[in-house]
Amino acid sequence: MNVRTQIGLMLIIGGVLNFGGWGASAALEDTSVGLTKLSLSIATLGMLILAAGFYGLVDSMDKGSGALYAKTGLVIFVIGTAVAIIEPALIIGAAEANAAGNPALEKTIDAIQMAIASAGVGIYFLGFAIIGVGILMQKHLNTLIAGPMVVMGLFGAFMSIYDYESLLLLPSYASTLFLPLATGIVFIRSRVES
């Protein structure tokens, strides 16, 4: 397996695990602490794999016209990922407090989780958008992938800060599945040798 295939697979697998883990967690709605832990652990793993995939993608841009933007976006994306990874731990803590019959602690943890998640996810989406700008500038991949990265990333960053619990964030979340998936497929199929 060559490097391009590995990077492409990281983008694909990371996006699927991230979105799938969060989706499963949302479907559970605190019905099972054990399953919540499992689904959020899968989401966290997906976030980390996705960040590694974006690192590989940005690294492949070398010193092209969009590389500086992509590298800047990657740094911001990784910072956002690091902050956003705190959210699953707090959700698990809130679920455990609820299961232990301590609703006051659950509400406190939930409030902290929302504040941290809003900032972390906003930074995450901002980095996602800036990586898209770098890809657009360099024409490294299809503009039908990079353009939506910019739009959905900026929209997600805005909505995360404005109203983190809004359903309007769902398209941005979905974009973190579909756009890395498409990017991974295009990256694997591209003819550039690694």
Identify whether 161 is part of a domain. yes
Structural contact between residues 153 and 140, judged by C-beta atoms closer than 8 angstroms: no
HSE toward the beta carbon, residue 189, CA cutoff 13 A: 9
Is the pTM here over 0.85, yes or no? Answer: yes
Share of the chain above pLDDT 90, in %: 75
Identify whether 194 is part of a domain. no
Identify whether 78 is part of a domain. yes
Identify whether 37 is part of a domain. yes
Rounded Cα distance between 105 and 39, Å, is: 22
52-97 residue pLDDT tens: 999 999 999 888 899 999 999 999 999 999 999 999 999 989 989 9
Burial category of 86 from C-beta neighbours within 10 Å (exposed 0-12, middle 13-18, buried 19 and up): middle
Structural contact between residues 57 and 179, judged by C-beta atoms closer than 8 angstroms: no
Averaged pLDDT, groups of 10, the chain, 194 residues long:
92 96 85 87 95 94 90 96 92 89 94 94 96 89 89 96 93 94 91 50
**CA-based nearest residue to 135, from 184, 67, 51, 59:** 67
Range of the domain at 32: 3-189
Identify whether 168 is part of a domain. yes
What b/e string do you get for 98-137 counting C-beta neighbours within 10 Å, with b at 16 or more? beeeeeeebeebbeebeebbbbbbbbbbbbbbbbbbbbbb
Identify whether 46 is part of a domain. yes
pLDDT at residue 191, as a whole number:
63
pLDDT at residue 169, as a whole number:
93
pLDDT at residue 13, as a whole number:
97
Work out how many domains the chain is built from and give that number: 1
